[in-house]
């Protein structure tokens, strides 16, 4: 299967494909691939002539050095996983110095306020790193369509904004959250959980399902309090935030309005491992 480590060689390859009129589907990942990534790749394979999967642990989007250091990097396994899906998938796995042309730093972006909410508050600089690396990737890969999971819903909204800001000719496709049987959203970080933490982490989706049900009849303040209580009772998990926010602006909601669409978002620590999840409420 084609694996490119250098952006120069990859550029040469992709330009040839574009000249042939091939449509390119792009799935950016940080590796440690799982069925969540697989679900995005499957859609891309159906909708495009060629699918490119990048594997790149982006240093500029980590606000925590230990999280970056401990991020799993099972590269050989990832290649085998992709080969098993479809041997025609093209892998692009550059080194940071190469991708960033020697200067591994973020650009400062303004995403219309989206960057100040939730993950933006708790992970300073994170979305500048995400925006910077995706802008670089989009310019090299030149995809027709790019696929992102709703698992990182705030990121998905920010990527849509990035494409407007940078005037990139790509269609962004949002894909549903892929979950384990317990309801736990699949994530590369799940690999760092102990068996007990994995079991307990099913509470994230349980809490979100409760929020969705309660949203029909209860006030936002009541739901917020209940979710806090649910997590306080669990000694294995620590709630960093739960918020009900408007789906488009991601601004925290205090009162429900019929015409608006809302989602519930949470971030939870299981020991040192930080997990996020979200759900559509109406």
Question: Of residues 37, 116, 122, 236, which has the active-site annotation?
Answer: 37
Neighbours of 18 (CB within 10 A): 14
| CB 211, min distance to ligand AMP, A | 19
Question: How far apart are the C-alpha atoms of 268 and 203, rounded to whole Å?
Answer: 10
Task: Establish if 44 lies at the interface with ligand AMP (CB under 6 A).
Answer: no
| CB 19, min distance to ligand AMP, A | 28
Instruction: Please name which of 220, 244, 219, 237 lies closest in space to residue 273, comparing C-alpha atoms.
Output: 237
Closest residue to ligand AMP: CB criterion: 149
Task: Establish if 37 lies at the interface with ligand AMP (CB under 6 A).
Answer: yes
Q: Which stretch in 32-40, 237-245, 254-262, 264-272 sits in contact with ligand AMP by CB under 6 A? A: 32-40
Task: Establish if 137 lies at the interface with ligand AMP (CB under 6 A).
Answer: no
Q: Given the complex with ligand AMP, which of 220 and 267 has the nearer CB atom?
A: 267
Residue from the set 36, 94, 129, 264 that interacts with ligand AMP by CB under 6 A? 36
Question: How far apart are the C-alpha atoms of 249 and 112, rounded to whole Å?
Answer: 9
Question: How far apart are the C-alpha atoms of 153 and 109, rounded to whole Å?
Answer: 18
Active site residue 84: no
Residue with tokens 């790749």: 41
Residue 274, classed as helix, strand or coil, is strand
Residue from the set 123, 126, 142, 151 that interacts with ligand AMP by CB under 6 A? 151
Q: Of residues 165-184, which lie at the interface with ligand AMP (CB under 6 A)?
A: 175, 177-178
Strand ranges of the sheet holding 145-149, from the earlier edge strand across to the other edge: 3-4, 90-92, 50-55, 24-29, 145-149, 171-175
**CB of 79 closer than 8 Å to CB of 54:** no
Strand ranges of the sheet holding 262-270, from the earlier edge strand across to the other edge: 238-246, 262-270, 273-280
| CB 139, min distance to ligand AMP, A | 18
Give me the residues that bind ligand AMP (CB under 6 A), please: 29-30, 36-37, 39-40, 148-149, 151-152, 175, 177-178, 185-188
Catalytic residues: 37
């Amino acid at each position: 299967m084609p694996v490119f480590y250098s952006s120069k060689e990859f550029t040469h390859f992709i330009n040839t494909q574009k000249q042939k009129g091939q449509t390119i589907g792009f799935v950016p990942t940080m590796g440690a691939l799982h069925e969540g990534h697989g679900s995005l790749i499957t859609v891309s394979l159906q909708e495009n002539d060629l699918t490119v999967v990048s594997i790149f642990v982006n240093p500029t989007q980590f606000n925590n050095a230990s999280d970056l250091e401990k991020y799993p990097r099972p590269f050989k396994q990832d290649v085998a996983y992709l080969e098993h899906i479809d041997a025609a998938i093209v892998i692009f796995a550059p080194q940071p110095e190469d991708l960033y042309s020697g200067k591994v730093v973020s650009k400062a972006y303004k995403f219309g306020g989206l960057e100040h909410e939730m993950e933006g508050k708790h992970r300073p600089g994170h979305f500048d790193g995400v925006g910077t690396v995706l802008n670089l990737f989009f310019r090299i890969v030149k995809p027709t369509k790019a696929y992102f999971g709703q698992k990182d819903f705030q990121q998905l909204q920010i990527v849509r904004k990035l494409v407007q800001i940078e005037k990139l000719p790509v269609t962004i496709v949002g894909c549903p959250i892929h979950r384990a049987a317990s309801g736990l959203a699949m994530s590369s970080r799940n690999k760092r959980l102990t068996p007990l933490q994995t079991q307990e982490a099913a509470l994230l989706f349980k809490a979100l399902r409760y929020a969705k049900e309660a949203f029909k009849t209860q006030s936002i303040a009541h739901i917020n309090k209940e979710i806090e209580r649910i997590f306080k009772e669990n000694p294995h998990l620590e709630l960093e935030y739960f918020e009900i926010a408007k789906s488009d602006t991601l601004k925290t909601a205090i009162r429900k309005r019929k015409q608006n669409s809302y989602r519930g978002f949470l971030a939870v620590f299981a020991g040192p491992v930080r997990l996020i999840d979200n759900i559509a409420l109406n």
